[in-house]
Amino acid sequence: MTLKRVLAADTLLLGITFVWGTTFIIVQNVLDKLTPLTFNAWRFLIAAFFLAGWQFLAKRRERPAFRCSPRLIVSGSVLGTLLFIGYACQTIGLLYTSASNAAFITGLSVVLVPVLSSLFLSKVPSPPVIIGVVFAAIGLFFLTTRGQFTLNRGDLIVLICAAAFACHIIFTAKVTEQFDSLSLTIVQLTVVAFLSFASGLAADGKRIFAVPQLTAPDVLSVVLFMALFATAFAFLLQTALQKETPATHVGIIFIMEPVFAAWTSVLIQHERLGGSELVGCTLILAGMLLAEWPARRRRKRAKS
């Protein structure tokens, strides 16, 4: 793992983070025409079909054909289930909370990564990690409640999304070395699409197909953009790049997602962040940095 490869991977991950951070408003504007499950079902289905077509065409070139093994299906299904939970909760939460709130709470997944890793690996977090988690929790309180003892139900839904995304980062780092990145991405995106359609049929009935609404130019353009750039390419790159850069780098870079989302809300929606929101945002970002910083120092000491 050379420095040049790590820097290249980090730069591409930052680009992915920018796309994710600036799409909260885009998604929120489409949810008045499509249900959240309908949006996710078509988004991930189109992304999975696009990558599957790419894989099929690649058979004639250097890339090996899709290899369907039980271990690949299981690993991809776990990743897909975590993604489904994360995106379903995030999209539903956007119905009841602001884009900036959803983005910052989703960012808590970066803090949860070392905490959940310690539980799965039976390792006690270091004091800086614990302090970082406390900072982030306090920041979440100020951001979502504005200093009052009330919680928006959308914020609680998005908090479930943060936990699911944290588990997704951990499991991706564990299995990405074992499989072809494109094949693993196809399986997990297909699982997300299947679960979205299945739950959509149960919750929304025939509205899950929503062909008239889906074919409207403004809706179709957003769905295609999200499917190709914010889903297919983004998750394929994340899966592949986690082979080239440490997981802690990924966590630090993902910190920028809520920052991009907040500034997008300010610039496009002219949204104003009050004092409590700014304090909450600052504490969450500080907590994320504190939670990740010890790992960075350990790597530097190891290199020395």
Q: How many CA atoms lie within 13 A of 88 on its CB side?
A: 21
Tally Cβ neighbours within 10 Å of residue 35: 19
* pLDDT band (50, 70, 90) for residue 177: confident
Distances (CA, A) of 17 to 12, 156, 237: 9, 23, 11
Among 282, 297, 248, 289, which Cα is nearest to 1's?
Answer: 248
At a CB cut-off of 8 Å and minimum separation 6, what does 108 contact?
136, 140, 159, 162, 166, 284
Is residue 258 within 8 A of residue 107, CB to CB? The reply is yes
Give the tokens for residue 183: 């094949």
Among 106, 100, 110, 120, which Cα is nearest to 290's?
Answer: 110
Q: Is 291 exposed, middle or buried (0-12, 13-18, 19+ CB in 10 A)?
A: buried
Type of residue numbered 217: P
pLDDT in tens, 148-159: 656 677 888 888
Tally Cβ neighbours within 10 Å of residue 166: 23
Mean pLDDT of 229-250: 83
Phi, psi for residue 64 in degrees, rounded to 5:
-70, 155
At a CB cut-off of 8 Å and minimum separation 6, what does 253 contact?
10, 13, 14, 17
- Which pLDDT score is estimated for 7? 73
Q: Would you report the helix, strand and coil content of the chain in percent, each value rounded to 5?
A: 80, 0, 20
Among 17, 15, 72, 29, which Cα is nearest to 254's?
Answer: 17
Q: Could you tell me which residue, 45 or 261, shows the higher pLDDT?
A: 45
- Which pLDDT score is estimated for 139? 77
Q: For residues 250 and 173, what is the distance between their CA atoms, to the nearest angstrom?
A: 10
User: The tokens 């951990």 sit on which residue?
Assistant: 170
Q: Is 183 exposed, middle or buried (0-12, 13-18, 19+ CB in 10 A)?
A: buried
Is residue 210 within 8 A of residue 27, CB to CB? The reply is no
pLDDT in tens, 178-223: 888 899 999 999 999 999 999 988 887 777 776 777 778 888 899 9
Question: Over 60: is that where the pLDDT of 295 sits?
Answer: no
- Which pLDDT score is estimated for 232? 93
Q: For residues 171 and 142, what is the distance between their CA atoms, to the nearest angstrom?
A: 31
H helices present in 210-268, as ranges: 211-214, 217-227, 234-241, 247-254, 256-268
pLDDT in tens, 90-125: 878 877 887 667 777 877 777 787 777 777 756 566
Question: Over 70: is that where the pLDDT of 297 sits?
Answer: no
Distance of CA 39 to the CA centre of its chain: 16
Distance of CA 243 to the CA centre of its chain: 18
What are the domain boundaries of the chain? 3-303
Give the tokens for residue 181: 């990145």
Is residue 176 within 8 A of residue 239, CB to CB? The reply is yes
Question: Over 80: is that where the pLDDT of 1 sits?
Answer: no
Among 185, 165, 164, which Cα is nearest to 175's?
Answer: 185
